[in-house]
Structure 1
Amino acid sequence: MAIKIKHTLNAQDFSAVFRFLSERSYWSKGISKKCLRFACDNSLCFVLTENNTLRAFARVVTDQATFANLLDVFVLEEYRGLSYGKQLITAVMTDARLQGLRRFTLATKDAHDLYQKYDFSEPVFPEGMMEIYKPNIYIE
């Protein structure tokens, strides 16, 4: 088994990521290819493959000095429970470009247990956190 973490999306990987995010995710349903391509081109991408087949994906928006936000993390359904998620998040958290940051954020509905293993926790000052949230922005 040749598990690899790549940082670029080839056409086959991009198609698989697009299908998952636009059709099966709860957070990006309906996202367009153009929007996703632009997002990936402006992010650090983490593409976990085994035998050249996509198993899991994540991307990070960052200035690589003070702040990062972890987004679009998923393991394809048929590969869940095989520790690909842990391998993917370990790769993100140990990436040299993401060390020494003052703040590293993410939003999750159902994976708190996984992220707590990597020292993510509730915001220290939640009263200072604000957002503009448009959950259905991609759905027509």
Structure 2
Amino acid sequence: MADRPEVEISYDLERIDFERTSELIRASYWGEKRTDAINRRAFDHSACAAAFIDGQQVGFARAMTDYACFAYLCDVIVWPDKRGAGIGKKLVQAMLDHPDLAGIPAFSLRTSDAHSFYEAFGFEVSRDGMYMRFVR
């Protein structure tokens, strides 16, 4: 098996390729009704992480949070041609370990198709089958 490329995680919003990230989110089932303006505002008011390989962005994740008690993980997305290389796992772990979020006792998220992916981090399915919660 070939070695996986080194993935760098950055929490610096200035490094994010906003246009490409917004484009991919708008193409997703959860972000199809958003505009660039909505995504810009969401990114600016959230904790964000981006994944890079050789200086090129290949993924993104963010958490809506009060930075004290609660965080809602969302917009976890990996560029289509880079999927399957563990980048999504690195992004989720980076959000759980984010310096401003590491002390938060509870994370939530919503998914319709990635339950087993998030269960590997300790998230559990709620009764409605879509919401999941991670409790430290």
Which interval holds the TM-score relative to the shorter structure? Answer: 0.7 to 0.9
Q: d(CA) in 2 for partners of 1:33 and 1:8?
A: 19
Q: d(CA) in 2 for partners of 1:95 and 1:34?
A: 25
Higher strand share: 2
**Larger RCO, structures 1/2 (Cα 8 Å, 6+ apart):** 1
The Cα of 1:116 is off from its aligned counterpart by 0.6
Q: Which residue among 51, 58, 61 is the counterpart of 2:61?
A: 58
The Cα of 1:83 is off from its aligned counterpart by 0.7
Q: d(CA) in 2 for partners of 1:21 and 1:88?
A: 15
Letter in 1 for 2:116: D
Query: Which 5+ residue runs of structure 1 have no aligned equivalent?
Result: 128-140
Q: Which residue among 8, 11, 22 is the counterpart of 1:7?
A: 11
How many percent of aligned residue pairs carry the same amino acid? 32
Structure showing greater Rg: 1
The Cα of 1:93 is off from its aligned counterpart by 1.3
8 Å contact from structure 2 (residues 71, 106) kept in 1: yes
8 Å contact from structure 2 (residues 16, 50) kept in 1: no
Q: What TM-score, normalized to structure 1?
A: 0.80
Q: What TM-score, normalized to structure 2?
A: 0.82
Letter in 1 for 2:108: T
Higher helix share: 1
RMSD: 2.1
Q: Which residue among 86, 89, 94 is the counterpart of 2:92?
A: 89
Runs of 4+ more than 2 Å apart:
8-12, 99-103
Using a 3 Å threshold, how does the CA distance of structure 1 residues 85 and 11 change in structure 2: closer, same or farther? closer
